[in-house]
Amino acid sequence: MLAAIITLQTQENASQNLIIQRPPSGLSLQGRISIPGDKSISHRALMLGAIAEGETEIQGLLLGEDPRSTAHCFQALGAEISELNTQLVRVKGIGLGNFQEPMDVLNAGNSGTTIRLMLGLLASHPGRFFTVTGDDSLRSRPMSRVVKPLQQMSAEIWGRNSNTLAPLAVQGQALKPIHYHSPIASAQVKSCILLAGLNTEGKTTVTEPALSRDHSERMLKAFGAELSIDPETNSVTVTGNAKLYGQKVIVPGDISSAAFWLVAGSIVPGSELVVENVGVNPTRTGILEALAMMGADIQLENQREVAGEPVADVRVRSSQLKSCTIAGEIIPRLIDEIPILAVAATFAQGTTIIRDAAELRVKESDRITVMAQQLNKMGAKVTELPDGMEITGGTALVGAEVDSHTDHRIGMSLAIAALNASGTTTIHRAEAAAISYPNFTSTLKEVCR
């Protein structure tokens, strides 16, 4: 079998086209893959390291654009962070409450996690003034979800559109603790409020409608914060005036990055892949459950616990997928994997329904509209729903010119769709992958046989 021809072309404006030419006879994917570190855990390791006392050592940090944004912001706030170009990153913490007032605007780049979690910390640092911003995408994403509860804690935050859009200005205050009932299951909202609670006298509680990823809770405990969790009500309480101490953090591989290979291995006939060292925290494994519902052949091997997070190697063999319905409490546990699940659904028999996922409209792009438009350009049958998609599988995809809309997960999902599309697919603005998966293209070349 011939391998696909995969080329990355840099344009005059520095954006990149990823061109995937599938041989007429098709291809198969084989090999063992190691994936980059978990993005959510990487952000938190840098942030907690920065506000802890002493040194934090981070092994396996994601060296993508998003954690780089976090590192730059926390360096400007006074933490010393070693270069992000090795597998071991050291953070010299400044201790909670000790941010220096930065000389310039803090730029969170493309990263919602950076800006929202950082806002909780900034708002609770009395006597200092901060300004925060981000790229075009981040400046159009809603910040009211964190500004409102922070204001209930008496934070002072100003910004465009009635204080709901970045750039935002923050006058740090001594905050008061609250019990916040979040209307959305969002780890960014939960973590923002818990981080604000760290430097606030008393107990701060967040209750969410469904459980979102719990990496903050796990890591806060490991760094020495006093935290209590009520799983019955999805509530977390943090005790203020906390003291955090530097730790050794080992970041597992990102299941959101593994997801591309799990779907690729499922839909490309004759494939078998093993993705090594995948974080399988139960608040993140919705993708495994959804693929199991679709009849995927996926096995977890060598299951273990590494530095407080469950980890496994994941084996996938190709199989004929079938449609399913993805809705309800599973959504927060696979929210970032819906673009690649949409690709899986285009190759599944029957009609897949995705609902309760309106959050997708306020991610790095409107992932409902963009995925529907781009997959339909390749001949898929995707209909937008207000809060999801209806995808009728089984039509053969045809190579086309598609666009990531500068959204990393869209670009990579389209690349996987291209492996099973006839002819040539060109993915414009494919450089977006570097946000969470800098070596995506080289791994793609490696596994295509």
Please enumerate, by residue number, every residue annotated as part of a binding site for phosphoenolpyruvate.
39, 112, 141, 188, 367, 409
Strand pairing category for 297-306 and 80-81: unpaired
CA distance 404 to 427: 7
Footprint on residues 330-349 left by ligand S3P (CB under 6 A): 335-336
318 binds ligand S3P (CB under 6 A): no
- Are 365 and 357 in contact, with CB atoms under 8 Å apart? no
Q: Give the burial string for 260-273 (b: 16+ CB within 10 Å, else e).
A: bbbbbbbbbeebeb
**Residue pair 309/278 in contact by the 8 Å Cβ criterion:** no
Residue 57 belongs to what H/E stretch? Answer: strand 55-59
Distance of alpha carbon 292 from alpha carbon 174, whole angstroms? 48
**Beta carbon of residue 259, minimum distance to ligand S3P (angstroms, whole number):** 12
Segment contacting ligand S3P by CB under 6 A, of 51-59, 183-191, 237-245, 419-427: 183-191
Residue 172: which residues within 8 A CB-CB, separation 6 or more?
Answer: 99, 122, 123, 124, 125, 126, 127, 128, 129, 130
Token pair belonging to 69: 């944004």
Nearest approach, Cβ of 165 to ligand S3P (angstroms)? 15
Q: Which is nearer to ligand S3P, 296 or 335 (CB)?
A: 335
Binding ligand S3P (rule: CB under 6 A), the pick from 113, 114, 200, 285 is 113
List, in sequence order, every residue forming a beta bridge with 133; answer none if it has no partner: 107
Dihedral pair phi/psi, residue 28, rounded to 5°: -140, 160
Query: Which residues in 359-388 contact ligand S3P (CB under 6 A)?
Result: 359
Residues binding ligand S3P: number (CB under 6 A)? 12
Tell me which of 4, 187, 236, 330 binds ligand S3P, using CB under 6 A: 187
Q: Would you say how long the chain is, in residues? A: 449
Catalytic residues: 336
* 173 binding ligand S3P? (CB under 6 A): no
3-class SS of residue 92: strand
Stretch touching ligand S3P by CB under 6 A, among 7-15, 159-167, 186-194, 287-295: 186-194
Q: Which of residues 194-213 bind ligand S3P (CB under 6 A)?
A: 212-213
Of 43 and 315, the one with the shorter C-beta distance to ligand S3P is 43
The reply on whether position 234 binds ligand S3P by CB under 6 A is no
Q: Which residues bind ligand S3P (CB under 6 A)?
A: 40, 43, 113, 186-188, 191, 212-213, 335-336, 359
